[in-house]
Structures are given as structure tokens and as C-alpha cells.
Structure 1
Amino acid sequence: MTGTAYDPQNIFGKILRGEVPCHKVYENEHVIAFMDVMPQADGHTLVVPKAASRNLLDADPAALGHLYAAVQIVARAAKAAFAADGVAVYQYNEAAAGQTVFHLHVHVLPRHEGVSPRRHVDGMADPAVLAQHAERIRAALAH
């Protein structure tokens, strides 16, 4: 356990409740996946469980199986949608490890040989570009 309580007012909690819009690519009863607004690569997607937890350290183990099954689905689609050479999957736990939003989430980044990821703090992406990227992933999911 982290010793710190889950705060339902975090941005992902607000997205889950429909209070903040997102560019959704995938959803089932356990998870939602949407475009990261500060993408480190084209197609950078976040997969977020609907169950409340700060991170891996306090998550219900049953939720983790649903989460990572969805990560696999999204990673395959993102790789195909962006003709990527590979896919990086990142997950951070607590501020010291780089976590900035305290709702469990997994980053899925399509990666191309010789192309370094962008810095996550370089600013928000154009919403129209994010919408196009989301559509590409949704199309790949449909195949």
C-alpha cells in the first residue's frame, strides 16, 4: 500500500466520469484507452482501469489482469496503425518513479527504429491530430 488515499478528482477519474473529454480508442467494462494529450510518440495511448487505484501498488490484483489484457489489445492495434517496429509499454508508481497522475495507467507507445520518444512535457498535441491518431487505432482494432 502507498499510504496515500486515492483522489477521485484526478484527471483520469474525471475522464472516466465523462467530466473531461478524451480521444477514446477502446473501452470495455473494466478499462478505457485514450490518446495521451502530451504524446511522446505518434499513437501514444493510455490504458486506464475503471476501478479506482493510485497505481500498481494498491490495485486490486483482479483489475490488473483486465488492464494488461487491454494493454495487449491496444498495443497490437497501435503497432499496426502506425506501422511501428515495436511497442514500448511504460507504467510508473509514485512521484519518485515518474508518476504524475495518481490513477493507475499504462502508456503504450508505438516505436520506430532510430526514433527517440519526445519529451512528455513538451506541450499538448493538436486535438485534431489526436483525433486522427485515435481513428487510426480504432480502425486497426476493427481488423
Structure 2
Amino acid sequence: MTRPDPAAGCAFCRIAAGTAPARLIAGTGATLTFLPLRPVHPGHVLVAPRRHVRDIWEADEETAAAVGAEVLRVAHAVRAAHRPDGLNVIQSSGAAATQTVPHLHVHLVPRFEGDRMPHLWPEEAETDPQTLDDSVRRIRAALPAPTP
């Protein structure tokens, strides 16, 4: 029995294949940069790997490095083109994090004083020292050794 191809219904894979329209900005061998269908305002762009990677947890180091390098390159272009007061770099994985397209992508959203983007952080964060120390221990224990 064959398993369905997860990329077959993927909007971003269709853009990468050239079978769906998009406002392309740039492309490398590993990545594409394009406008989202509904940008927050001019300068809002997406960087995605060409190959289908569902989310950050499916990305290998090579894909992550290619996407990261392109995010940095495009961030400088967005700054030069739009002169924002700041920039949000947003990567959402999973429905709870508001990922709506199941293909890894990074939003670069230029920010301007008084723009319509909401604040991204709650006013108060968890500060219970025992909870924070437990989180540090759990993440350290789960962290694989760095690649040389």
C-alpha cells in the first residue's frame, strides 16, 4: 500500500514547482522567498525551503542553515527597501502556534511605530523559580550534543 505524498496538497510545494502563482522575490537552490497571500503590510515576506518540510521539527541541519541564511539576507533587503523601525522574524510550528500552512516557513514582518500588528508577548511571564529551574533541567536533558 502506498502512502500519500504529504507535498501533493501543499500550496508552498506548488509554488516551488512553478504550478501555483506567487509573487516571487528570490530563490536559491534550497529556498524560495515570496509574498504571503495577505501580507500585514508592504515588506512582509516569507522564506521557505523548496523541498517539503512540515515544520521546524522535521527540518534537518542543512535545511535549517539554508533557510536561516536566506532569512538574514532577505532581512537586510527588507530593511533597505522599507526602512522599518523594527522587524519580527516569526516561525510558527503546529496549530497551537498558529501555523496554517503545513510547510516550514519564516515570516519577516517589518514593524513601524503604531502599526496594526499586535504585541507578541504577554504583559507578565511565568516567574516561579522552581518552574523555571525545572524547565532548564528538562531542556538540558533533552538537548542532543552539538554537531562539530
Unaligned runs of 5+ in 1: 119-143
Moved over 4 A (4+): none
- Equivalent position SS for 2:37: coil
CA–CA separation in structure 2 for the residues paired with 1:85 and 1:79: 9
Aligned to 1:15: 15
Aligned to 2:32: 32
1:63 aligns with 2:92: no
Work out whether residues 45 and 109 of structure 1, in 8 Å CA contact, stay in contact via their aligned partners in 2.
Answer: yes
Question: By how many angstroms is 1:45 displaced?
Answer: 0.3
Work out whether residues 54 and 104 of structure 1, in 8 Å CA contact, stay in contact via their aligned partners in 2.
Answer: yes
- Give the number of equivalent residue pairs: 114
Q: Which has the higher contact order (CA 8 A, sep 6+)?
A: 1
CA–CA separation in structure 1 for the residues paired with 2:79 and 2:6: 32
Query: 1:52-95 CA deviation, whole Å, 9 max, x = no partner?
Result: 21010111121000001000111111122111111111000011
Work out whether residues 88 and 111 of structure 1, in 8 Å CA contact, stay in contact via their aligned partners in 2.
Answer: yes
Q: Which has the larger radius of gyration?
A: 2
CA RMSD, aligned part only?
1.5
Q: Provide the TM-score with structure 2 as the length reference.
A: 0.72
Aligned to 2:98: 98
Query: 1:15-67 CA deviation, whole Å, 9 max, x = no partner?
Result: 01111111111111010100111111221100010122101011112100000
